Structure 1
């Protein structure tokens, strides 16, 4: 073995890394784009099917409309992530609030009475609303740097 061998190995490692890292980044980026497209397409399909089912009924319930709002928020979230590579956490909170609201309406519609489950779901909405306020405050008070990739 000669003294140049460790340098040659380092040079080979550097050449391999200079090819693998951009290739890996490309595959990750392609996966994100394909997955976002699939989620967006599935959201449009699900929203369309829900709308079609809703049109078959003599009227649209509040639950039906809230479900369409959930699809709208998912679509907006996918669009924002597609354009900015930032996960809008607030939209996830909005979706959760809307979903819990649908559950409350369903429970009240079937039981016709208030119970502890409905109260706990109302408290869940309050906690989610406070979390949303905290996320909004934190994103305004401590904005992320333009070169960082992360959520709100």
Structure 2
């Protein structure tokens, strides 16, 4: 990838500011997710039982934390993490509203899950057979 056209005197401070903004946002997302997890456990405790929709919601929170960890550790966010969250969210939506849904809605949501999981499978296979080339530092 080509070097930026910005002068070094602008690029360095700009990168530093953006890095701090990313750090603050990652910490904020982590704290908000932990608060949501605590609230969900509190609601489960109040109700007195754990429903499947509660478990799926906790999995969504877990995937959000995994995304934050992945980004904080490697500075990159694989596309598949948001896809996992979308699949779990659609499954939770189906479970919560199954009684009110007609068959067409259920089929459309099932097709959406299939497309998302198929795309993840294709990406994983693609990364296995055609991995990204590491960028060399030589010019």
Q: Same fold (TM over 0.5)?
A: yes
| Structure number, greater radius of gyration | 1
Match of 1:124 in 2: 112
2:45 counterpart (42, 55, 61):
55
Which sections of structure 2, spanning at least 5 residues, go unmatched?
1-5
TM-score (norm: length of structure 1): 0.79
Q: Distance in 2 between matches of 1:73 and 1:143?
A: 24
TM-score (norm: length of structure 2): 0.86
1:59-96: CA deviations, max 9, x gaps?
11100110000000000110110010111211111110
Shift of 1:41: 1.0
Across the two proteins, how many residue pairs are aligned to each other?
131
Match of 2:3 in 1: none
Shift of 1:147: 4.4
Give matches, 1:24-39, under 5 Å: 24-39=14-29
